A and B are shown apart, each in its own frame.
Chain A
Amino acid sequence: MWKWLHPYAKTENAYQLCVTLQPWLWLGALLCLAVGTVWGLAFAPQDYQQGDSFRIIYIHVPSAMLSMGTYVAMAIAALVGMVWQWRTAYMSMIAMAPVGAVMTFIALFTGAAWGKPMWGAWWVWDARLTSELILLFLYIGVIALYGAFEDKQQAGKAAGVMALVGVVNIPIIHYSVEWWNTLHQGATISKFDQPSIAPEMLWPLLISLFGFAFFIGAVTTVRLRSEIVRREMHRPWVQKLAQATSENS
């Protein structure tokens, strides 16, 4: 079943996959982000309670959901690296880490900017906000740990352990608003129930969610390509590639 994945354990194949995927991911990101944000920020109706302030949802919710999604993807990559010992797995893990960290930061920042006018506070130490902050620290920890080792193979293993351990935080973030009483409201769309948002507000939200996902994918492929090239500099295929590029320019 997973046989089709096996070639991508080789860095050259993984690099080629990134090259193929990249334009499509950028195209998807550009289209969805343009449609989603313009629709959401300019054309979706106002909220009955929060007026125009609610529009920050079109940035806050996608970035928050994908900060968690990217972390799970990173942890899966770490698991693959650990069990199957794929070098490309650790490389893609570290390619995703800063992207996820930025998403987490955007989620926290837009949340604070939303909290001030609506709740009356930039920050409250409730379970949801605190666990999302811990997620940011986990990302930073993974990046720092990876950077601390000279030997990048060792670095990948160490950072991978940290990424895997930190994955317990993901269900905590998601269920924090149900397990404890918090200032943050419950889930609007990520639940096994009808979304509690009017359809004309939901559509742009879903589109910008896809836009963010494509964007993360696109940035990750760029980072993975450069990571592979940096680590495989001595390989003949990379040298051939470098030669071809310099001849073209």
Chain B
Amino acid sequence: MNPRRKQRLAVVGIVGLLIVSAIGLMLYALNDSIDLFYTPSEIIEGKQGQMPHVGQRLRIGGMVVPGSVSRDSKSLAVSFDLIDTGPIVTVTYTGILPDLFREGQGIVATGVLTSATEITAQEVLAKHDEEYMPPELAEKMKGIKHEKPANMPVTDASSSYQYEASPELESETVSELGSKSKPGGQ
């Protein structure tokens, strides 16, 4: 390589390195603001030493605790508990839940913190994982049977989705949710 090219390559390299480190530092500083949601443990134990205050509008993301879903028989009101690694936050919501909503599913809810462990949500979104498989395989591997909501009998008791997760699966999902909330181990 001739010296002029070498020089140009060096200049491009140095400028590139500077830009990368500048943007890296910026993102590192903004780390917490980029997170889409609080996890239940961050709501109860605080995030970076800061507790979310009552009345704050926020998003929460966690797994719906199996058996915690209760629906009102006369309206669309529903309440359920969210968990990640231990602490539990209760979400109340009035409206239509996404198709993927069921016990054991990851959920992101936007709403207002009404007390230390309660959220009134205006929007509930379902999170799904990156695994794709045919239904027969899922039944064999995970014991999950997902019925379409259309076939569901209307009951006012807890959710009608069949969910018979094995204990390993539950702990797996919980630990996955928990490990995600701490990027860079800070």
B residues 98-137 in Cβ contact with A at 8 Å = 98-100, 108, 123-135, 137
Q: Is B139 an interface residue (CB 8 A)?
A: yes
Pair A180/B35 contact, Cβ less than 8 Å? yes
Contact of B125 among A164, A172, A179, A183 (CB under 8 A): A183
**8 A Cβ contacts from B1-22 to A:** 5, 8-9, 12, 16, 19-20
List B contacts of A183 (CB < 8 A).
Answer: 36, 61, 108, 125, 127
Known contacts A179-B184, A201-B132; decide if A48 and B125 are in contact (CB<8 Å): no
Question: Is B157 interfacial (CB-CB < 8 Å)?
Answer: no
Residues of B contacting A83 in the complex (Cβ-Cβ under 8 angstroms): 5, 8-9, 12
Asked whether A47 lies within 8 Å of B129 as measured between CB atoms, the reply is no
Chain B contact residues, majority secondary structure = mixed
Q: Is residue B27 within 8 Å, beta carbon to beta carbon, of the partner chain?
A: yes
- A182 contacts across to B, CB distance below 8 A: 36
- With a CB–CB cut-off of 8 A, which chain B residues contact A197? 131-133
Known: A84-B5, A120-B98, A181-B37. A188 touches B130 (CB 8 A): yes
Residue of A nearest to B30 (CB): A180
Q: Which residues of A contact B165 (CB under 8 A)?
A: none
- Tell me whether B23 is interfacial, beta carbon within 8 Å: yes
Residues in chain B near residue A172, CB distance under 8 A = 23, 27
Q: Mark A168-209, 1 if CB is under 8 A from B, else 0.
A: 100010000011111101111000000011101100000000
Cβ of B27: which chain A residues have Cβ within 8 Å of it? Answer: 172, 179
Chain A interface size, under 10 / 10 to 19 / 20 to 34 / 35 or more? 35 or more
Q: Which residues of chain B have a CB within 8 Å of any CB of chain A?
A: 5, 8-9, 12, 16, 19-20, 23, 27, 31, 34-37, 39, 61, 97-100, 108, 123-135, 137-139, 144, 146, 148, 180-181, 183-184
9 residue pairs, one from A and one from B, having the closest CB atoms: A48-B138, A120-B98, A45-B134, A126-B36, A198-B133, A48-B135, A185-B130, A188-B130, A179-B183
Q: A residues touching B (Cβ–Cβ < 8 Å)?
A: 45-51, 54, 57, 79, 82-84, 117-121, 124-127, 164-165, 168, 172, 178-183, 185-188, 196-198, 200-201
